[in-house]
């Protein structure tokens, strides 16, 4: 395709993805009350030496928070659409075998992303309870809504995206770019990347939460390495039988 045709196709795919996210964001805005209540629930359950409350420090902060929640929910709810649009844009440049691999990639990426988001949401109460429990006796932990939800959304969406990352390793192996031997030998680098990522999306003082995120990612990396090893063995057997 000519360059202008590629740009036109890219624009069309981006418009479709943006419309899907916007429509899902409208539903997310309607659900923002429920999300705020669910996210604030761990604060209400904090028992111990401190009282914890969620506060809005300026007049427009409540609307800004609802808009941020709506856009985040829009990205999550519309994940099947924008992941498919990204794949559909790449289809013309791939071989038929690579297209089949891409379809499998998209079908696996959506549930992995949603599962990662759900996992991130599940560990929020433990992180909040642990960190709020360090406040001294008789004190009050006053949180601004913006800061609290920035932390929460970064954690939830970050974990969701990290759960998709092993698929990239599998896809690179499937198209012959990355061998299983290279993946297995690179476990030290992968471990460092996983630890750095887990430390980034969790509070600096919370080692337990970092481990809770890092361990599933290590399992996913090991699973991707095992898949790549099995795939390389099948490919080698096919090549030997063809000769």
Q: Determine the pLDDT at residue 110.
A: 80
**10-residue stretch averages of pLDDT, the chain, 243 residues long:** 75 91 91 83 60 73 87 86 79 69 77 84 76 69 78 80 81 79 88 85 68 84 90 85 71
Q: Determine the pLDDT at residue 83.
A: 79
Distance of CA 22 to the CA centre of its chain: 19
Q: Determine the pLDDT at residue 46.
A: 59
Q: Radius of gyration (Cα) for the chain, nearest Å? A: 22
Domain coordinates of the chain in residue numbers? 3-233
CB burial string 69-84: b at 16+ within 10 A, e below = bbbbbbbbbbbbbbbb
Q: How many CB atoms lie within 10 A of CB 7?
A: 11
Q: Determine the pLDDT at residue 19.
A: 94
The whole-angstrom separation of Cα 50 and Cα 33 is 26
Q: Determine the pLDDT at residue 16.
A: 92
Q: Determine the pLDDT at residue 204.
A: 61
Q: Determine the pLDDT at residue 49.
A: 44
Q: Is 143 helix (H, G, I), strand (E, B) or coil?
A: strand
Indicate the pTM of the whole model: 0.65
In sequence order, which residues have a C-beta less than 8 Å from that of residue 117 and are 6 or more positions away? Answer: 76, 156, 157, 159, 160
Backbone φ/ψ region at 192: left (φ over 0), alpha (ψ -120 to 50), beta: alpha
The whole-angstrom separation of Cα 73 and Cα 156 is 11
Report H helices in the chain: 3-30, 32-44, 61-77, 79-90, 96-132, 145-174, 180-185, 187-201, 207-242
């Amino acid at each position: 395709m000519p360059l202008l045709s590629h740009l036109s196709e890219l624009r069309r795919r981006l418009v479709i993805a943006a419309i899907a996210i916007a429509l899902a964001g409208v539903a997310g805005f309607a659900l923002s009350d429920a999300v705020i209540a669910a996210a604030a629930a761990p604060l209400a359950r904090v028992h111990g030496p401190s009282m914890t409350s969620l506060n809005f420090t300026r007049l427009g902060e409540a609307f800004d928070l609802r808009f941020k929640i709506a856009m985040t929910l829009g990205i999550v709810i519309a994940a099947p659409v924008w992941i498919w649009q990204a794949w559909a844009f790449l289809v013309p440049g791939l071989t038929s075998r690579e297209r089949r691999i891409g379809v499998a990639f998209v079908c696996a990426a959506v549930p992995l992303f949603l599962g990662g988001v759900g996992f991130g949401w599940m560990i929020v109460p433990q992180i909040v309870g642990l960190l709020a429990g360090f406040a001294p006796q008789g004190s009050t932990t006053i949180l601004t809504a913006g800061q609290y939800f920035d932390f929460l959304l970064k954690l939830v969406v970050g974990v969701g995206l990290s759960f998709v990352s092993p698929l990239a390793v599998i896809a690179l192996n499937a198209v012959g770019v990355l061998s299983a031997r290279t993946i297995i030998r690179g476990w030290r680098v992968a471990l460092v990347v996983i630890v750095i990522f887990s430390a980034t999306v969790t509070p600096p003082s919370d080692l337990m939460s970092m481990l809770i995120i890092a361990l599933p990612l290590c399992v996913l990396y090991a699973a991707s390495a095992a898949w790549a090893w099995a795939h390389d063995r099948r490919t080698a057997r096919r090549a030997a039988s063809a000769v």
